[in-house]
Amino acid sequence: MARRVLMLLAGLALAGCQVLSTPLATEPNSNTEPTLYQQLGERAGLAEIVEDLLYLIVDDKRINHQFKGINVAQFHRHLTDQLCQLSGGPCTYSGRPMRKAHADMAITETQFNALAENLILAMEQNGISTGAQNRLLKRLIPMHPDIRNL
Ligand code: HEM
């Protein structure tokens, strides 16, 4: 897992050029190959992943203080819808833009990576393949500057 967090970090450096220019249409989507959305267990599977992520966040001293007092049900719904939409599912994210949602939090690189690590763990716990995990992480990378308010 540490290796994949490192890969995510390496990917961040490339986010401006490679990842952003990768069209989502490159997603394999024949009748035999499941889409990323399907590989993540569709919306119900993503809801489980986000629930497990929330438990991991609560237990993680590196970041749990940032989440004190949030509306947990709303966060769960919004993050699930966001990941659903991002993976090609039939959902519409209705939360705030990432820069606005994370403004004034002064999120550090370490905290961003801690969240990514917990998301990987939550996906592991739900039996998501490494390939599907990496494909989802790759789609999250372009959000990094907004979440960190860079
Ligand atoms: C890839 C990384 C991340 C993604 C995709 C993400 C996504 C989201 C989404 C969808 C929301 C809901 C926004 C809304 O309801 O309008 C949210 C809220 C929030 N995020 Fe993040 N986030 C990420 C990283 C982080 C990190 C690293 C932290 C802190 C360590 C963080 C802390 C929060 C908090 C505290 C809220 C609740 C804000 C509020 O309700 O006022 N997020 N995030």
Compute the distance from residue 102 Cα to the ligand 1 centre, in Å.
Answer: 6
Of all residues in the chain, the percent with pLDDT exceeding 70 is 79
Please check whether residue 67 is in contact with residue 57, taking contact to mean a CB–CB distance below 8 angstroms. Answer: yes
2-10+37-147 fold: Globin-like (1.10.490)
pLDDT of 32 reads: 79
How sure is the predictor about 30, in pLDDT bands with cuts at 50, 70 and 90? low
Q: Across the chain, what does the average pLDDT equal?
A: 87
CA-nearest residue for atom 1, ligand 1, is 140
More confident residue, 31 or 11: 31
Backbone φ and ψ for 22, nearest 5 degrees, come out as -80, 115
CB atoms within 10 A of CB 135: 17
Residues in binding site for heme? 78, 102
The residue ranges of every structural domain in the chain are 2-10+37-147
Cα(58)–Cα(68) distance, rounded to whole angstroms? 9
Taking alpha carbons only, the member of 125, 118, 123 closest to residue 134 is 123
**Contact 52/127 with Cβ under 8 angstroms?**
no
Sign of the torsion formed by the C-alpha atoms of 75, 96, 84 and 4 = negative
Task: List pLDDT tens digits, range 55-114.
Answer: 999 999 999 999 999 999 999 999 999 999 999 999 999 999 999 999 999 999 999 999
Question: Which range (18-22, 30-34, 93-97, 138-142) has the least confidence?
Answer: 18-22
Q: If you measure from the C-alpha of residue 23 to the centroid of ligand 1, how many angstroms do you get, rounded to a whole number?
A: 25
The helix (run of H) or strand (run of E) holding residue 93 is none
Summarize the confidence of residues 3-11 as an average pLDDT.
Answer: 47
Cα(104) to ligand 1 centroid in Å equals 12
Q: How remote is the CA of residue 30 from the centroid of ligand 1, in Å? A: 33
Rounded distance, CA 98 to CA 45, Å?
Answer: 23
Is 23's pLDDT higher than 70? no
Q: Which residues of 39-65 are buried (b: 16+ CB within 10 A; e: fewer)?
A: bbbbbebbbbbbebbbebbeebeebee
Atom of ligand 1 nearest to the CA of 81: 10
Pocket of ligand 1 (CB under 6 A): 63, 66-67, 70-71, 74-75, 78-79, 82, 95-96, 101-102, 105, 107, 111-112, 115, 140, 143, 147
CA dist 59 → 46, 62, 115 (Å): 20, 9, 12
| Region 23-39 average pLDDT | 73
